[in-house]
Every structure is written in C-alpha cells, then in structure tokens.
Structure 1
Amino acid sequence: MRYIKTIDDITKDGRIEFGEGYDFVDAAEEADAILMRSTDLHGYELPRSIRAIARCGAGVNNIPIEEYARQGVVVFNSPGANSNAVKEIVLAMMIMSSRGIVQAMQWVRDNARDPNILADAEKAKKAFVGRELRGKRVGIVGLGNVGSKVANACVDLGMDVYGYDPFISVEHAWALSHNVQRVGTLEDLCRGCDYLTLHVPSKADTIRMISSEQLALLAPGAVLINFARETIIDEDAVDAALRTGALSWFACDFATPKTVRMPHTFITTHSGAGTEEAEANCADMAISELKDYLENGNIANSVNYPACNMGKARAASRVACLHANVPNMIGQITAVLAKDNANVQRMVNESAGENAYTMFDTDEHLDARTIDALKQIPAIHRVRVIK
C-alpha cells in the first residue's frame, strides 16, 4: 500500500482517485507522496518519507524545487492540462477590451430605473462602439502549451498572428497553424501589434521582459494581456502607458498592489485556469505522474529531475538513484553492484542541470548491504528500491 497526503482542494467536487493499492493519510509523516495545488511550501518541513510531490498546475513558484532535489524528492507539475481554460479566458479578454462589453453592461445597471431604458439604451450604444478582432495584428510571446493554442485560435478568428519563442519545442511547432508567422526577436514581434499576449514562465531572462521599450513599439492604443506571471512585465512602464493612452487596456490575472491602481484594466483573481475541466485534467495528470514514479520509477514532467522511462518494473529488482550531476557517478554505482555480483539487465542515466537520475533493473534482489553502499556514495541524494 502506498500513502498520499493531499494539500489544498484538488478538485471542485473533492473527488480524487488513485485506484487500488493507494490510500490517503492526514499526516505527511505517514505519506509516500504529496498531491497539491497552490499552498506555499517554502519553509515547510518536509518529512523524509516523502519521495515525490505533484502540483496540479504548471507553475511551481510555491515549491522550493532545488532544495527538494537535494533531498531526493522529485517535483512534478502538470503542464498543458489547463491550457484550454487559459486560452479561452485570454480570448475573452481580447473581446472585452475591444467591444466595451463591461462598460455597456455597467450603463444598463446604472440606468436600471429609467422607464425609457429601451429607447435610451439605443441612444447610449454609440458610446460603446468597439472594434473587431478580425484583421488585427496580435503578437504572442511564448508558443508553449497555452501560447500555441492562443495563436491557433487567433488564426481562426481571422487575425494577423505573429509568435516569438526562441525555445519552442518540436511538439508545439508541429501543433502551430502554418498561418502563425514566427519572428526572431521580441522587438520585431511587438512592432505594430494591436494586441500583445504573454505566455512565458517567470525566469531570470523573462522578468520584466515587457517594459517601456517594447510597449513603445506597439500600435497606438494597443491591448496588453498577461495571464502568465506577474513578474514578466514592468508594472511602472505599463501604468505609464495606460495613463498616456499608449495602451488602451491591460488585462491580467494578478491583482498586485500596483495593478489594482492602474486605469483601464481587467484584473481577475488568478483564475485563468479556473474551470472544473482544467482542475480535473491537472489532477489526472498529476496522479498519473505520481503513480508511474512510485510504481515504476519513471519520471515525466518533473521540474527538478530529468525525464526517464524504463517502462513497467518487471525484473526481480528495480533501483533508482537520485544524485547530483557529477563525473564518474555511473562508475561508482556499477562498482558497488560488481562487489555484489549483481547482473544488471539494463541501466538508464539522465541528467538535467545540477541533478541526475540513474535507474537499473537486476536479475536478483539486492541485499541491504548493497543498497546501503549505494546510499554512501558521495553526491547520492536518495536510493529507492522500487521492486
């Protein structure tokens, strides 16, 4: 039996199913893994029993991933599971910022007691004349799970679509419509755009990547949309552009002390992925990742360890070593196994940055002394006997 500790409300209806061989516990000290959503784990005292953490969502700013890597804890996320929900709300923001919908509805509420409201509304509608999206130029920063879907949807709406992503994956490149025009620099993307929408993670090279220089290249009265991370814009520059009219609207998912004081904004409660379907998709992906890791040692969509897959664990013993990415680690591991005369059926070693993962199957069960010898190798963070 494997035990799971849940943190946060994972799905709206509260239903989470791991299947046979799993049970839920209240205390993290009794758990093998944690399933979570948005709680901040910085400063959280993680029990040694925890082997993995899966977040139901893409961002992991709330998890100290490198600290956990050094403890041999694999952190998973669920990229793309909520991408359709985010795509839809981004499109909604484009339309809301273009058609005066919210303002028109507010006029109706403000004049609800007018006995001639039907006729007066006809007269008032001229104040809310907007513009269509068709034929307008949209720039999309980041063509990953969300950005590629937004790009294709904008093509379907008849927009002139440009994308910028120097690190686009082959998978997402294939998914893009041939009508999405890729550009080589952020500046070329911004030039003349009527809409600019952001879909990149918060990293050293993306923090405040949209500032006064980029905003000045947009078409007059452009719309900026940020449903990615609050740190990727220069808030002071956006505020200034809104006040001068260089930007007509700013839509974002982050109610920061500065954004809530900006004029001409649509700000939501970090609810870009807030649909029942997205919650369920994220939970399903996170559960699948945890189960494959706990049962077989396979890693997919980890943010602190490399992807690795050896299929189902069918040999007498499968052992996984989580360690630092340092020279001669394979040699040290195989030297320990040689002393035990262990016959290794197959072995896989993968690395990602400072961390690495070595997994192997043997024809016989390794004795406790061999496992302990593996644990004593310098730079080994954790050794797991999976079967």
Structure 2
Amino acid sequence: MSTGILDRSKTVQTLNVISEKGLSLLDGDYLVDDKIEDPGAILLRSYNLHEVALGEHLLAIARAGAGVNNIPVDECTNRGIAVFNTPGANANAVKELVLTTLMAASRQLFDGIAWTRKLKGQGNAIPKLVEQGKKQFVGKEINGKTLGVIGLGAIGARVANDALDLGMDVIGYDPFISVDMAWNLSSYVKRVLAIEELYAKADFITVHVPLTDQTKGMFNEKTFKLMKSNVHILNFSRGELVNDRDMAIALEQREVGKYITDFPNEAVLNMDNVIPIPHLGASSKESEENCAIMATRQLKDFLETGNVKNSVNFPDTSLPFTGKKRITAFHHNIPNMVGQMTTVLSSFGLNIADMVNRGRQEHAYTIVDLDHNVDDPVLNNLKARLNQIEGMIKLRII
C-alpha cells in the first residue's frame, strides 16, 4: 500500500499479527497496515527481514519479543535504523513452560501419556493394563534436586526464584548479569563464576542466553562430558545453542537423559528421549499482549520524541520532551562529534536548552533540544550542515 501521508514517521507496517492491545496505542495520526510501501517503522514478531529490502524512509523496527535474529541488525545500525525488542515481556510465559516441562519430564509424564493413548480399543482391560504398565514410568521428584540456570536475565532469574520455591537447589551462572537483574534474584541462588562448576553439579540445566558467536553450539561433546550422567537439558532460548550431532550421541550413551527443546528440527525429531515443543515458550495470550504493548510504546516514543529504550543497537537515551524543536543524531562514537554539532548550532545563533549524549561501543546517540522555535528554511539548512559532519549516520529534527 502506498500512502500520501507526508509524515513517513507516522506510517507503521505490521509484518505479523500484532495484538490489538498494542496497536491501539497508535492513535488516529498513524497509518498502520501490513502492505505499506517504504514505511517509517515496522512492527513484527518472527517475520524474517533478512531477505527484505529495507525502505529509504525506515527509522525504526520493533520486535514484539526478545530475540532479533530475524532482523538484519548490522545493516540497520549502518543505516541508523533503531531496532527495539521487548526483554522481559514474555518472561513469565517462558518461565511457566520451563518449570512445567521440567517437572513433567522428570516424572516421565510425556512418555506415560503417549503409552496410555496406545491402549485405545482395549475396552474394559484398560484399567488393568494401566496398573501393570505404570511401573515403567516411575519418575523422580524435583524436590531436593539441583537446577543449573545459565543466564540470569528476565527469564532465568524468574526460573531460578520459582525453582527455589519448589524445593530445588539452584545454581546460577551469568558473567554479564546486570545490577537490575541481580536485585531481582533471590539470595538463595548460588552463583558460580565458572560454568564448569554448574555442569558438574546440576541434575537439570536450563539455558537462557542469546545466540552469539560465543554461545553457538555451547552444548557439545566436550561440555556433555563435564555434566552429571543422565542430566536433563532444557533449551527455550535458541536451537543453535546445541550441537545436534553431539546431542544425539549423548542421548544414545545416556550422558544426557532427556533433551527438552522449543526448537524442533529434522535432526531433533529423530533423536530418542527428546521432548520437542512447537516453539510455545512465549505463546500465551498474555505474553503476546505484553510484548505488543511494550514494543508499540517504545516505537511510538522513539518516533515522536527520539527517546530510546530497549534498543539492541542504539544506546538507551532520553530527555523529557517539552515540545521544543529537538535534534536527534545517531553517529560514530569518535572524539569531537558533540563539539562539532554545537559549533554548527552556534554558527546559526541557536542556543541549547538541554542535551544528552550516550555511547554504545562504536556508535553514539545525541539528543539536543533547542531553546526556541526555528523556521523550517533555517532547520533545513541546519540539517544539511549537520549531515556534513564526518561520522554522522542519521539525523532527525522533531
């Protein structure tokens, strides 16, 4: 769908079904549709953007979910397109499924149900067959067992805390835990500094880390050798964290007792003692609503004020929006960028009412509020001059 709206920042393309509770936050000033050509913003869930040409006017992409592997983040960064996600919005849904499957797998519930269904047609003999056959599904209680939690972010911390309430001993490993997440973690969770210690002690291991070059295939032949025999491994993060070939061998040799994964594929479905779940971790009505609301709010705030929260490629940056003309600049994090900007503003006789600058590795983001209104012709000339600064990637005037 093409649009005659002049303000492209008020056009939002939806590439998945997004909960109406989120979309309702975009008032009548916005055009929201799944067929908009060259939109100002994109809202999506799991839609694969890697093979899609991103439009010239695209300012931001918001994913109603945590992972952004379906978004070409590097390309977006190079073009100054902000990418947002919603960490923590689906945490409760994932936590509930982790603990549900942990308990069900330990008690052989899935195998028992599958076996019972095969008794169909046995009529009055079913109760007797059940009593005779149930002994093959004797499981273990999780009370008193040790759970290892790798990654103590929004999901991992909730899993760890609730597992304590279920009577488990909990070991946590996260070398990058934030201060905010540390506050949310029970003091009874034993943190270890070496992941090898967690491997050696845990009866169950659940992983909650992003997929990176460092974490890809982190569960492999070498790490399985460090774990307790018959350990149960739960993966609700990314399928690629596990080396499938090595997992198949570990399951055959009973180094791993069960593998519970939210990411089935052909290799996984051919393994014994796998509990394959059809990517249901965040699939609850409440989770989809929470993610949609959070993604839409962050996107709308960025489009209307330039403020950044929960971006994976822009630093978190905000100033209270007073309605004065605002300049936002995404640029390389190099010396004298802010100085050059203020020099240009001074040459136009413009005074700064407020300003904030935040860096994130190789890039930085600057917000400048002007002290008074400026005519459009002056703003156009100002924008052109600021764009001439070497290292400038994307500049907006709001």
SS at match of 2:369: strand
In 2, Cα distance between equivalents of 1:287 and 1:313: 21
Q: String of CA shifts for 1:210-246, please: whole Å, max 9, x gaps.
A: 2223222222211011111122222222211100011
Would you say 1:384 and 2:384 are equivalent positions?
no
Query: Is the contact between residue 25 and residue 31 of structure 1 (CA under 8 Å) also seen in structure 2?
Result: no
Query: Is the contact between residue 166 and residue 184 of structure 1 (CA under 8 Å) also seen in structure 2?
Result: yes
CA RMSD, aligned part only? 1.6
- Aligned amino acid, residue 384 of structure 1: R
- How far 1:25 moved relative to its partner? 3.7
Equivalent residue number for residue 355 of structure 2: 347
Could you say if the C-alpha distance between residues 27 and 103 of structure 1 is closer, same or farther in structure 2, counting changes exceeding 3 Å?
closer
* Number of residue pairs the alignment of both structures matches: 384
Out of 4, 8, 11, the residue aligned to residue 3 of structure 1 is 11
Matches within 5 A, 1:54-69: 54-69=62-77
- How far 1:281 moved relative to its partner? 0.5
Q: String of CA shifts for 1:225-283, please: whole Å, max 9, x gaps.
A: 11111222222222111000111100011123322221110111222111111110000
- How far 1:61 moved relative to its partner? 0.7
Would you say 1:156 and 2:165 are equivalent positions?
yes
Equivalent residue number for residue 222 of structure 2: 213
Equivalent residue number for residue 200 of structure 1: 209
Would you say 1:172 and 2:181 are equivalent positions?
yes
- How far 1:312 moved relative to its partner? 2.0
TM-score of the two chains, using structure 1 as the length reference: 0.95
- How far 1:15 moved relative to its partner? 7.1
Equivalent residue number for residue 137 of structure 2: 128
In 2, Cα distance between equivalents of 1:92 and 1:26: 36
In 2, Cα distance between equivalents of 1:14 and 1:172: 27
Out of 255, 258, 261, the residue aligned to residue 264 of structure 2 is 255
Out of 68, 72, 75, the residue aligned to residue 83 of structure 2 is 75
In 1, Cα distance between equivalents of 2:110 and 2:298: 41
Equivalent residue number for residue 23 of structure 2: 16
- Aligned amino acid, residue 396 of structure 2: R
Query: Is the contact between residue 22 and residue 294 of structure 2 (CA under 8 Å) also seen in structure 1?
Result: no
SS at match of 2:201: coil
Q: String of CA shifts for 1:309-347, please: whole Å, max 9, x gaps.
A: 1022432x1110111222211111111101101000111
SS at match of 1:338: helix
Could you say if the C-alpha distance between residues 184 and 15 of structure 1 is closer, same or farther in structure 2, counting changes exceeding 3 Å?
closer
SS at match of 2:366: strand
- How far 1:22 moved relative to its partner? 2.2
In 1, Cα distance between equivalents of 2:309 and 2:271: 40
- How far 1:32 moved relative to its partner? 1.9
- Aligned amino acid, residue 46 of structure 2: S
SS at match of 2:290: helix
Matches within 5 A, 1:174-323: 174-315=183-324, 317-323=325-331
Could you say if the C-alpha distance between residues 26 and 116 of structure 1 is closer, same or farther in structure 2, counting changes exceeding 3 Å?
closer
Could you say if the C-alpha distance between residues 112 and 14 of structure 1 is closer, same or farther in structure 2, counting changes exceeding 3 Å?
farther
Would you say 1:36 and 2:44 are equivalent positions?
yes
Equivalent residue number for residue 119 of structure 1: 128
SS at match of 2:93: helix
- How far 1:199 moved relative to its partner? 0.5
Query: Is the contact between residue 322 and residue 382 of structure 1 (CA under 8 Å) also seen in structure 2?
Result: yes
SS at match of 1:116: helix
Could you say if the C-alpha distance between residues 69 and 132 of structure 1 is closer, same or farther in structure 2, counting changes exceeding 3 Å?
same
Task: Mark the runs of 5 or more structure 1 residues left unpaired by the alignment.
Answer: none
Would you say 1:107 and 2:115 are equivalent positions?
yes
SS at match of 1:67: helix
Which consecutive segments of 4 or more residues in structure 1 shift more than 4 A?
A: none
In 2, Cα distance between equivalents of 1:183 and 1:214: 16
SS at match of 1:130: coil
Query: Is the contact between residue 11 and residue 36 of structure 2 (CA under 8 Å) also seen in structure 1?
Result: no
Task: Mark the runs of 5 or more structure 2 residues left unpaired by the alignment.
Answer: 1-6
Equivalent residue number for residue 3 of structure 2: none
Q: String of CA shifts for 1:50-77, please: whole Å, max 9, x gaps.
A: 1111001100011111211121210100
SS at match of 1:9: coil
- Aligned amino acid, residue 59 of structure 1: G
- How far 1:372 moved relative to its partner? 1.2
SS at match of 1:139: strand
Equivalent residue number for residue 137 of structure 1: 146
- How far 1:9 moved relative to its partner? 1.3
- How far 1:30 moved relative to its partner? 5.3
Query: Is the contact between residue 192 and residue 217 of structure 1 (CA under 8 Å) also seen in structure 2?
Result: no
- How far 1:26 moved relative to its partner? 4.5
Equivalent residue number for residue 61 of structure 2: 53
Identical-pair percentage: 39
